[in-house]
């Protein structure tokens, strides 16, 4: 019993703004957690040896400091190394954060791995793919939400099109793909 099937034609469906399913707060939060876990892996690979080296240089002076409460020049140098490595790691984290979000969200997938897993993608206000510059601006605008106690992120749960503060600033939307 063999049945022949007609070839399936692909049809383009235009969806009006009223029918667009936006990515809400909780779905976006899950994607953000996934993205941060992913970002933590290379950061940990870089951080652990560097911080271990800094601590290895600092530990001999900590016992000395407990007994004398005077900081020797060697201990000051070890402290400087420790804090310098900490600052370097912060810069590396910020670069990784920026490039990860900006490159993925401006790519043909229009989503980070976390967003892809939960079925979200980032578009401009008209539903089109965003540029690297806009994705960078969107990423840097997230720091405003951090400064104002995450209220900017919570806005995704309150606004009509589920836009967070960084979406409003960059004129972007996060939409559901399934």
C-alpha–C-alpha distance, residues 119 and 126, integer Å: 19
**Residue-range domain boundaries for the chain:** 21-176
171: three-class secondary structure by DSSP:
coil
Reported confidence tier of residue 7, pLDDT bands at 50, 70, 90: low
Q: What is the largest CA-CA distance in the chain?
A: 93
pLDDT digits (tens, 9 = 90+) for 113-122: 999 999 999 9
Residue ranges with strand state E in the chain: 120-124, 172-176
pLDDT digits (tens, 9 = 90+) for 56-83: 988 888 776 666 777 788 888 999 999 9
Q: Is the pLDDT of residue 8 over 80?
A: no
């Amino acid at each position: 019993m063999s049945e022949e099937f007609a070839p399936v034609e692909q049809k383009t469906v235009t969806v009006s703004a009223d029918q667009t399913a936006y990515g809400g707060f909780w779905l976006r939060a899950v994607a953000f957690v996934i993205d941060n876990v992913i970002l933590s892996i290379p950061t940990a690979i870089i951080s652990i040896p560097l911080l271990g080296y800094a601590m290895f240089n600092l530990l001999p002076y900590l016992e000395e400091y407990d007994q004398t409460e005077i900081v020797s020049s060697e201990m000051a140098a070890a402290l400087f190394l420790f804090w310098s490595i900490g600052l370097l790691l912060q810069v590396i984290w910020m670069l990784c954060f920026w490039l990860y979000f900006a490159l993925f969200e401006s790519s043909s997938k229009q989503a980070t791995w976390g967003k892809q897993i939960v079925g979200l993608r980032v578009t401009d206000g008209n539903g089109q793919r965003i540029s690297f510059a806009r994705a960078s601006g969107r990423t840097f605008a997230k720091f405003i939400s951090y400064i104002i106690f995450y209220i900017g992120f919570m806005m995704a749960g309150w606004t009509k099109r589920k836009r967070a503060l960084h979406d409003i600033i960059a004129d972007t939307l996060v939409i559901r793909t399934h």
